[in-house]
Amino acid sequence: MTSDWIRLLLLVPDSVSSRIMAAENETIPTLLTGGGFVFLAAIMGGLFLINKNASDGAAALARGSTELTEGVRQEIKEVKADRDEVKKQCSRCEARLNTVLRQLAKRDAVTNDLLEVLDKVVAPVLPEEQADAMHASVRALHTVLDREGFNGEV
């Protein structure tokens, strides 16, 4: 084959070139077979590249989705912890409110007891002016107790 190439590249007389033309030469089928292989290899390589590109894209998407999911999970965890803390504070505030309401009810009960005793026991035996004055005193006492935060416990 090498000698063929040399003859092809040299100026040869017609008699010689006719001999060359008559000779069997495998250069052309070799080249064409190589071309066919290169064609198929390029197609297969291209498919590989397309697949690789798509796989890389899918992997990047999956990675991003995983990071996003993890981040959202963490956020949900933190929000749940905040919610639990607020719930605990709510419970404490509710208990305190109930205590205060109970204390107020007790204080009102003491005042009502005093007024009842005044009306039923003291008022019948006293003149009307003195009974009214004692009434006013008890109400003033209630106002003072209210202002001073008396909780009804004696």
What residues from 53 to 72 belong to the interface with other proteins (CB under 8 A)?
A: 53-54, 57-58, 61
Runs of H (alpha helix) within the chain: 2-9, 14-22, 27-117, 128-148
Contact of 16 with 4, CB cutoff 8 Å: no
Q: Can residue 2 be called a binding residue for other proteins (CB under 8 A)?
A: no
Decide: 107 and 152 in contact? Cβ < 8 Å.
yes
Residues 86-145 touching other proteins, rule: CB under 8 A, are: none
Residue corresponding to tokens 């077979």: 33
Distances (CA, A) of 51 to 43, 55, 56, 60: 12, 6, 8, 14
Cβ-proximal residues to 148 (8 Å cutoff; 6+ apart), any chain: none
Return the range that interacts with other proteins (CB under 8 A); candidates 4-12, 66-74, 85-93, 119-127: 4-12
Q: Which is nearer to other proteins, 25 or 130 (CB)?
A: 25
Nearer to other proteins, 32 or 93 (CB): 32
Please identify which residue in 2, 3, 15, 24 interacts with other proteins, judged by CB under 8 A: 24
Q: Which of 15, 19, 47, 130 binds other proteins (CB under 8 A)?
A: 47
What is the binding site for other proteins (CB under 8 A)? Answer: 7-12, 17, 20-21, 24-25, 27-29, 31-32, 34-36, 38-43, 45-47, 49-50, 52-54, 57-58, 61
